[in-house]
């Protein structure tokens, strides 16, 4: 079925990097942008950026510029989000989302990956 399957929970130390994967199935991976949205515990949704799986083009929220990198491997229909220089405030659930349209909406979400940053 149509789904996004994310990698498992991670625990990282401050200053380290984390790379979260998001494997698409049930639809043409290269036809829809992959977006990444994070949510700290008890907080709202925060958009991090988008990636076009076909071209590899990306766009990042200003807050994450220089710290986030979104890539993909089209041969295995998988998108990646790497966040570097982690700090405690980066502790959150990270979601990949897709199947949107020109209106910047997301009709398909992964189940989320909990990233915990702790010394």
Contact flag: residue 59 with other proteins (CB under 8 A)? yes
Contacts of 106 (CB under 8 A, 6+ apart): 35, 37, 97, 98, 99, 100
Tokens of 76: 């295995």
Contact with other proteins (CB under 8 A): which of 53, 106, 115, 117? Answer: 106
User: Residue 67 carries which DSSP code?
Assistant: T
Q: Pattern 70-99, binding to other proteins, x per CB under 8 A? A: -------------------------x-x--
Distance in angstroms (rounded) separating the CA atoms of residues 112 and 64: 19
Contact flag: residue 65 with other proteins (CB under 8 A)? no
Contact with other proteins (CB under 8 A): which of 14, 16, 87, 104? Answer: 104
Residue burial 97-114, b: 16+ Cβ < 10 Å; e: rest: bbbbeeeeebebbbebbe
Distance in angstroms (rounded) separating the CA atoms of residues 112 and 70: 16
State the minimum distance, in angstroms, from the CB of residue 78 to other proteins.
18
Contact with other proteins (CB under 8 A): which of 9, 11, 45, 76? Answer: 45
Contact flag: residue 35 with other proteins (CB under 8 A)? yes
Contact residues for other proteins, defined by CB under 8 A: 35, 37, 44-47, 50, 59, 61-62, 95, 97, 100-107, 109-112
């Amino acid at each position: 079925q149509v789904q996004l399957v994310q990698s498992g929970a991670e625990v990282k130390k401050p200053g380290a990097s984390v790379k979260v994967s998001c494997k698409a199935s049930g639809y043409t991976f290269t036809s829809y942008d992959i977006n990444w949205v994070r949510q700290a515990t008890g907080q709202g949704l925060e958009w991090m950026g988008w990636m076009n799986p076909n071209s590899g083009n990306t766009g990042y929220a200003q807050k994450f510029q220089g710290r986030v990198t979104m890539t993909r491997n089209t041969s295995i229909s998988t998108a990646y989000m790497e966040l570097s220089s982690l700090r405690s405030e980066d502790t959150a659930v990270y979601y990949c989302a897709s199947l949107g349209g020109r209106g910047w909406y997301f009709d398909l979400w992964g189940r989320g990956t909990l990233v915990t940053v702790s010394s």
